[in-house]
Amino acid sequence: MVLKYRIGKIIQTDAVVKEIPCEKKLPEGFGADEKKNICIFQKRIGEYDKIYGLGENVRGINKRGWKYKSECLDNPNHREDTVSMYCAHNFFIIDGNVKSGYFLDTPGVVSYDMCYEKSDEIRVEIEGLNVDIYIIDGDSLTEIIKQFREIIGKSYIPPKWALGYQQSRWGYASKNDVREVVRQYREGGIPLDGLYLDIDYMERYKDFTINEESFSNFPEFVEEMKKEKVHLVPIIDAGVKVEEGYALYEEGVEKDYFCKDSEGGYFTAGVWPGYVHFPDFLREEVREWFGSKYQFLLDMGIDGFWNDMNEPAFFYRKQRLDAALPKVQQYIEKNLDGAEFFEMLGELNQLTVNHTDYPYMLHCVEGKVVSHDKVHNIYGYMMTRAAGEMLEKLRPDKRILLFSRSSYIGMHRYGGMWQGDNLSWWSHLLMNIKMMPSLNMCGFLYAGADLGGFGADVTEDLMLRWIAFGIFTPLMRNHATQGTRLQELYQFSKKDVFRKLITIRYSLIPYLYSELVKCAENCEMMFQPIGFQFDEDKRAAEIEDQLFVGESIMIAPVYQQNMYGRYVYLPEDMIMIRMKSSEEIRTYRMEKGDHYIEIPLDEVVFFLRKGKLIPFVRSADTVEELDETNMKLLGWENEAAEYELYQDDGFTMHCDTEGRWITICRNPDGSIISDSDICFQDMTKEVMDYE
């Protein structure tokens, strides 16, 4: 059951799509402190109760024992003590004797003390005196999550090719750079479906322009890449360069579509192109305007986009820089002592503390002026909504790839997300693993992190382990920043091992695609902590480094350097699947309990759940080229099982359309029946005993 309560009146976020009447009396624990101008939620919880949710955040799947702050932040160097990341996902569940989910719908800042100050108390502070509160009760965690997901609407489903492996790097500066990457992938036989264009494809970082020197004849180039079966995915940044003669800027000024500055004029900040103005995405007409600009690239043959810097992120606000520079000048020709040096640094460092600038940035909401700090957390969401809504209008018959760095719940209907700038650290691989279920709870299914890490130099073994995990994440993109070690998979000595690992991804695409669509349509999680399915099992409840991926698979990734195996806990009998490539598979029957499993760098190990099935196909260079008329099927001996497979042309809308679902039945005798022409080969007889 979902109950809705209201304090004050929020600025509409449109996170919730279902009409729910408001209860009259506030629930226990909630209140408002007018003096402090905050709403508060306070609750004592049991010693071993768990807290789940909060989407994109650091630390464990169980969020207990730390403080978090929903205040979208460009935070590339996030660590264990980070409180804010790129997104604001205000949904959490308290899992104790009674289980309840909470969604705090407010576009402003929310601070969570999850048993940090007091070990048995949750205290949440919501800035301002307005919030919509949704409380969701249910017998199980999955039931609560499903109810929540139903009120926020179905998750975005990308085109099928976007489940393929994709390569990115900030630094592909010309067509020849891109061609070279594609050539190396194709020559090395490493499957590849997408290649990302970072800001260098634009003319001096101006949205919806092309750098005519390095990316001349762009439509032809897109066509050339299509022949290679590679989709180009350009970046779009939130800020619009301030430049006379730049059509987007001039039109924005003419129509008065940019956020204002409380000190006069438009809010002006420095991002990649220098001074920019930020479109006021909270206004519908501005969303329509900016969204319609994607047509420029669609018409050139582009069918995927990533929206960036939309927290919004900026390096300085113009007035602040203007005030700081003369101060810094005073230090010139001075023999700076320590204190003076740090004073000077302080002058510069305070420029990037964006939130102090938010009160100056003004939006227009329902005809009223609202300062940015009150609506900060929905800015990136509204940018991606602008794109999503217009892409659907511009290409009504085709799903377009779209994902964003910043998000709020509600954005999951328009696009996916990546986990922002991370680092080539083993701890960030583990964070990637633990974040997936939390994102899924909040509706974000098409998600993943920069594989290999964005900042810092990756090692070959970290890349191998990250790929081994990335095989299972819907967004599988390798991305890195300039100046770091080159990390395209062909750059490493074990190039052939990487190739083989990627083929495993491709052999699982029919499964991953079916599970993604199922979870989107049924409002379920694709990545689940194993305890969510075995809630009576205390061991399972505390395991955070093994996850279910869809209904049939359990993964147990390796995320530590120099470890060639690990303990895995099986909450039920399972079949261990060991794959070196799409063609090299060994399978073993295993009993419930703890096992030490060897996992060398060139092998991906995962598990088939009791009574379930997994379809496999032979890998190909691209998703489009997969032969899905021939499949192998792995199941359980002497057991009947069923699997629902989803098949479509890879881009049409309305995945709930009947006729796209194929029921595969495997009978105890090994015969396979399906309402399709797919030819199945049963793999079950090859399963060996594990010793």
Minimum CB distance to ligand GLC, residue 97 (Å) = 42
Q: Which burial class, exposed, middle or buried, applies to 681 when counting CB atoms under 10 A from its CB (0-12, 13-18, 19+)?
A: exposed
Ranges within 302-321 binding ligand GLC (CB under 6 A) = 308
Q: Which two tokens stand for residue 94?
A: 């308290």
- Tell me whether residue 481 or residue 667 sits nearer to ligand GLC (CB atom): 481
The least CB distance from residue 313 to ligand GLC, in Å, is: 8
Dihedral of alpha carbons 434, 435, 436, 440, sign: positive
Closest to 377 in 3D by CA, of 5, 51, 84, 628: 84
Which of 424, 356, 370, 428 minimizes the C-alpha distance to 85? 428
**Residue 475 binds ligand GLC (CB under 6 A):** no
From the CB of 418, what's the least distance to ligand GLC, in Å?
Answer: 8
Contact status: 199 vs ligand GLC (CB under 6 A): yes
Residue 613 to residue 604: CA distance in whole angstroms: 18
Q: How far apart are CA 664 and CA 552, in angstroms?
A: 14
Shorter beta-carbon distance to ligand GLC: residue 134 or 170? 170
**Please, is 411 exposed, middle or buried when counting C-beta atoms within 10 Å of its C-beta (0-12, 13-18, 19+)?**
buried
Q: Shortest Cβ contact with ligand GLC: which residue? A: 170
Binding to ligand GLC by CB under 6 A, coded x per residue (else -) over 116-155, reads: ----------------------------------------
Q: Which is nearer to ligand GLC, 374 or 479 (CB)?
A: 479
**Residue 192 Cα distances to 226, 444, 486, 620, angstroms:** 12, 24, 17, 9
Based on the shown chain and the rule CB under 6 A, indicate whether residue 200 belongs to the binding site for ligand GLC: no
Nearer to ligand GLC, 153 or 279 (CB): 279
Measured distance CA(28)–CA(458) in Å, rounded: 49
Cα–Cα distance measured from residue 415 to residue 426, given in angstroms and rounded to the nearest whole number? 28
Cβ distance to ligand GLC smaller for residue 29 or 274: 274
Residue 110 or 233 having the CB closest to ligand GLC = 233
Distance CA 527, CA 553 (A): 10
**Contact set for ligand GLC, span 222-261 (CB under 6 A):** 235
Minimal distance, residue 450 CB to ligand GLC, in Å: 7
Q: Which residues is 642 bridged to in the sheet?
A: 665
Closer Cβ to ligand GLC, 261 or 308, answer by number: 308
Residues 481-500 that bind ligand GLC (CB under 6 A): 481
**Amino acid (one-letter) located at 234:** P
Minimum distance, C-beta of residue 240 to ligand GLC, in the bound complex (Å): 15
Cβ atoms of 77 and 93 within 8 Å: the answer is no
Task: Decide if residue 170 touches ligand GLC (CB under 6 A).
Answer: yes
Amino acid at 639: E
CA atoms of 612 and 607, how far apart (whole Å)? 10
- We find the least distance from the C-beta atom of residue 245 to ligand GLC, in angstroms, to be 24
List the structure tokens of 158: 């990308």
Element (H, E) at 440: helix 426-441
Total chain residues near ligand GLC (CB under 6 A): 10
CB of 170 to ligand GLC, least distance (A): 4
CA-based nearest residue to 513, from 388, 613, 615, 404: 615
Shortest Å, Cβ 308 to ligand GLC: 5
Query: Rounded to the nearest whole angstrom, what is the least distance from the CB of residue 286 to ligand GLC in the complex?
Result: 23
77/356 with CB nearer ligand GLC: 77
Smallest distance from the beta carbon of 420 to ligand GLC, in angstroms?
A: 6
Is the CB of 377 or the CB of 674 nearer to ligand GLC? Answer: 377
Q: Which of 132, 421, 551, 648 binds ligand GLC (CB under 6 A)?
A: 421
Which one of residues 56, 127, 193, 198 is an interface residue with ligand GLC (CB under 6 A)?
Answer: 198
Q: If binding is defined by CB under 6 A, does position 207 make contact with ligand GLC?
A: no
Closest approach, Cβ 80 to ligand GLC, in A, equals: 21
- C-alpha separations of 306 from 62, 195, 237, 388, 418 in Å: 30, 12, 9, 11, 9
Count of H helices and E strands in the chain? 14, 41
**Could you tell me the smallest distance in angstroms from the CB atom of residue 329 to ligand GLC?**
30
Do residues 461 and 601 lie in contact, with contact meaning Cβ atoms separated by under 8 Å? yes
Distance in Å, CB of 623 to ligand GLC, minimum: 23
Minimum distance of ligand GLC from residue 448's CB (angstroms): 13
Q: Which is nearer to ligand GLC, 199 or 613 (CB)?
A: 199
Q: CA triplet 543, 545, 547: central angle to 5 degrees?
A: 85
Report the residue number, 376 or 405, with the smaller CB distance to ligand GLC.
405
Tokens linked to 643: 């699997």
Residues forming beta bridges with residue 91, ordered by sequence position: 103
Q: For ligand GLC, which residue of 206, 405, 500, 505 counts as binding (CB under 6 A)? A: 405
Amino acid, single-letter form, for residue 410: G
Residues within window 605-644 making contact with ligand GLC, judged by CB under 6 A? none
Residue number, 184 or 481, with CB nearest to ligand GLC: 481
What amino acid is encoded at 441 in this protein? M
Cβ nearer to ligand GLC, comparing 168 with 552: 168
Closer CB to ligand GLC, residue 421 or residue 524? 421
Other residues' Cβ atoms within 10 Å of the Cβ of residue 483: 10
Closer residue to ligand GLC in complex, CB, 63/405: 405
Strand-pair partners of 40:
31, 125
What residue has token string 């689940």? Answer: 528
Write phi, then psi, for 289 (nearest 5 degrees).
-65, -55
Of the two residues 169 and 566, which places its CB atom closer to ligand GLC in the complex? 169
In three-state secondary structure terms, 351 is helix
Least spacing, CB of residue 192 vs ligand GLC, in Å: 19
Q: How far apart are CA 327 and CA 344, in angstroms?
A: 8
Single-letter residue type at 525: M
What the block records as the tokens of 237 is: 């940044």
Beta bridge partners of 605: 578
Q: Give the x/- contact pattern for ligand GLC in 73-112, rule: CB under 6 A.
A: ----------------------------------------
Between CA 597 and CA 162 the distance in angstroms is 32
Q: How far is the CB of 421 from ligand GLC (least distance, A)?
A: 5
Residues near ligand GLC (CB under 6 A): 170, 198-199, 235, 308, 405, 420-421, 479, 481
